[in-house]
Amino acid sequence: MSQEIRTIRKQNKRKKRKKRFLTWILIPLVVIALSTVAYGTFLYKKAESVVNGSYKPIETATQKREEKVDPIMDNVSLLLIGVDDSETRKFGTGTRSDALMVVTFNKDENSVKMLSIPRDSYVKIPGKKNKTRINAAHAIGGTDLAIETVQEVLDIPIDYYVKMNFNAFIDVVDALDGVEVEVPYLITEQDSKDLADAITLQPGLQTLNGEETLALARTRHQDSDIYRGLRQQEILKAIIKKGTSINSLTKLSDIISAVGSNMETNLTFNNMKSFVNYVINDKSINFETLALEGSDSTINEAYYYQLDEQSLENVKLLLQTHLNGNTTDLTAAETDNDLAENGTE
């Protein structure tokens, strides 16, 4: 890994210690939290209806759990599957995942760990002979195979999933009358209908509409997936900041509809309510973002992201111990990660 990327990671780690934040995996939970905590029967019932309409259980239960878990009582895991859908892609039929994020919740430590898995990670997909990009799992076998693949790569159970297409960006941002974000450089991107060069963004701090926000979130031509991930985090912080502001409360009904129409999940409404404390008590919760180190690789003239085996093992241990509540092993794993980052191991 380059020195520049190491520096970015260390800077981000220091920033996270100063200011905790929620990423877009928690957007549905933010909506439920707002609806259940303060804003009346109408929004509560609408949120319940939307979540019930988005409910889609997976066909095969995890084989890494001996007993069914309850998010009220147990430490659990959640997989975000972001799908870059459009009409031309038939909204999810054979579509590769554009983002995979694993989130683990530890109720005793009141902590959340988040891991973004690079979309081009070179992994073994269950049932397939040769390794390929992890984002192909969804295209091959939908949600079930995407979950199974992540379980095998990280050796942890995936208890719940939330699949959202990136039309949610457009609908939610437009419902908020745009969000203010920093555009790092001149960007020319396709729109949500895959029309080439349809969106042009000038650099600088500005308010973007839904299509423009999606263009900023998806672009990576001038840098990399690492920088795109950082941009997406900034966009989602801007969405949540504006969505939870007093001025946006009158738009909450539209936001609920936008999330619901772009989401599938095996979380019930009661399951989601179990996560509300993680959302509304952000100041007391320890959010930590993990990363999988690796290197660029070309195999048979195709680009892949080759995961570093030691980094993968460290991340696996961190997530396993977070789910199991073994803080001794967790501390040891974090120490190993710090030593590896500082080049002292």
Q: Is 303 helix (H, G, I), strand (E, B) or coil?
A: strand
Q: Which of 110-114, 133-137, 244-248 has the highest mean pLDDT?
A: 133-137
For residue 180, give both structure tokens: 């203010």
Residues ≥6 apart with Cβ < 8 Å to 192: 86, 166, 167, 170, 211, 214
Instruction: Provide the mean pLDDT of the chain.
Output: 79
Q: Are the C-beta atoms of 37 and 276 separated by less than 8 Å? A: yes
How large is the average pLDDT for residues 224-233?
Answer: 72
The answer, yes or no, to whether residue 8 has pLDDT greater than 50, is no
Q: Is 244 helix (H, G, I), strand (E, B) or coil?
A: coil
Single pTM value for the model: 0.76
What CA–CA distance (Å, rounded) separates 199 from 189?
A: 5
Question: How buried is residue 37: exposed, middle or buried, by Cβ count under 10 Å (0-12/13-18/19+)?
Answer: exposed
The pair phi, psi for residue 289, each rounded to 5°, is -100, 130
The answer, yes or no, to whether residue 152 has pLDDT greater than 90, is yes
The confidence score (pLDDT) of residue 62 equals 61
How large is the average pLDDT for residues 162-173?
Answer: 82
How large is the average pLDDT for residues 68-85?
Answer: 87
The answer, yes or no, to whether residue 28 has pLDDT greater than 80, is no
How large is the average pLDDT for residues 142-169?
Answer: 91
- Tell me the per-residue pLDDT of 200-228, one tens digit each, with 9 for 90 and over: 999 999 999 999 998 898 787 787 776 77
Residues ≥6 apart with Cβ < 8 Å to 6: 341
Q: How does 68-86 read in b/e, with b if 16+ C-beta sit within 10 Å?
A: ebebeebbbbbbbbbbbbb
Q: What is the CATH number of domain 3-338?
A: 3.40.630.190
Backbone φ/ψ region at 85: left (φ over 0), alpha (ψ -120 to 50), beta: beta
Q: Is 102 helix (H, G, I), strand (E, B) or coil?
A: strand
For residue 204, give both structure tokens: 């600088």
3-state helix, strand, coil in the chain (%, to 5): 50, 20, 30
E strands, the chain, where?
A: 76-83, 97-106, 111-117, 122-123, 132-133, 160-165, 179-183, 187-189, 199-201, 204-208, 263-265, 286-291, 294-299, 302-307
Q: Are the C-beta atoms of 7 and 15 separated by less than 8 Å? A: no
The confidence score (pLDDT) of residue 14 equals 41
The answer, yes or no, to whether residue 24 has pLDDT greater than 60, is no
Which residue intervals of 55-209 are DSSP H helices? 136-154, 167-175
